[in-house]
Chain A
Amino acid sequence: DAGITQSPRHKVTETGTPVTLRCHQTENHRYMYWYRQDPGHGLRLIHYSYGVKDTDKGEVSDGYSVSRSKTEDFLLTLESATSSQTSVYFCAISDLGQGSSGNTIYFGEGSWLTVV
């Protein structure tokens, strides 16, 4: 398994509170991503990073922010959690851009977030 650690793995939080999910990698891969997975929607990209302090938005970035101060760590913050952000969040890493032929994207094991 790729060296990706997500924390926390499970969290229940109240509406309106800030939440931070952490992704730590030991592979020294350049690219890191945050996805959310919801029934009927597959996986949707929230934000991604192509280097330290270099980040960009994905297709469902509203309500989320990210930071990457070190190669190995990528943080996802829900600024004010809402029930619609109840989901499973996956961190992923790759050495090349996502679309690169032959490039493999490795996913972490997920963080289950429930907003009540």
Chain B
Amino acid sequence: QQQVKQSPQSLIVQKGGISIINCAYENTAFDYFPWYQQFPGKGPALLIAIRPDVSEKKEGRFTISFNKSAKQFSLHIMDSQPGDSATYFCAASRGETSGSRLTFGEGTQLTVNP
């Protein structure tokens, strides 16, 4: 059972454009929503994360928008660059107790054309 649904599977944007990746979750107990970036041949790395008490978090060109009522959150990459070409994963987890588990989305392969 996939508790976090991610779309699109792949995305192609032009340099300077905006990349948008969406995720939807089912479990209303989730309270931590990170995004991971993965380059080919490498492990995923934390990019940005949000908790549901805020609707938006921005770090440089990367922004998470969070809609608690719709149970959706999205990653926006402004001024997309070829170096942003990677696979992006959203994830969600609940609580801070030991053993809390991250549930990942299926991933989005982003290609930014020069």
A residues whose Cβ falls under 8 Å from a Cβ of B: 4, 31, 40-45, 48, 50, 56, 58-59, 90, 92, 96-102, 104-110
24 A-B contacts (beta carbon < 8 Å):
A41-B106, A42-B4, A43-B44, A45-B102, A48-B101, A50-B98, A58-B101, A90-B43, A92-B43, A97-B97, A97-B98, A97-B99, A98-B93, A99-B32, A99-B102, A101-B32, A101-B96, A102-B49, A105-B46, A106-B45, A107-B43, A107-B45, A109-B42, A110-B41
Known: A56-B99, A98-B101, A99-B32. A42 touches B107 (CB 8 A): yes
Closest chain A CB from B6 CB (angstroms): 7
Query: In the assembled complex, which residues on chain B have CB atoms less than 8 Å from the CB atom of A106?
Result: 43, 45
The interface residues of chain B lying within 8 Å CB-to-CB of A108 are 43
CB atoms of B43 and A99 under 8 A apart: no
| Assembly CA distance A107 to B44 (angstroms) | 6
Given contacts A56-B99, A96-B96, 4 further A-B contacts (CB under 8 A): A41-B106, A44-B104, A50-B98, A107-B43
Residues in B neighbouring A110, C-beta threshold 8 A: 41-43
Number of residue pairs A-B, CB distance < 8 angstroms: 75
Q: Are A109 and B43 in contact (CB under 8 A)?
A: yes
Residues of A within 8 A of B98 (CB): 31, 50, 97
Bound state CA distance, A61 and B43, in angstroms? 21
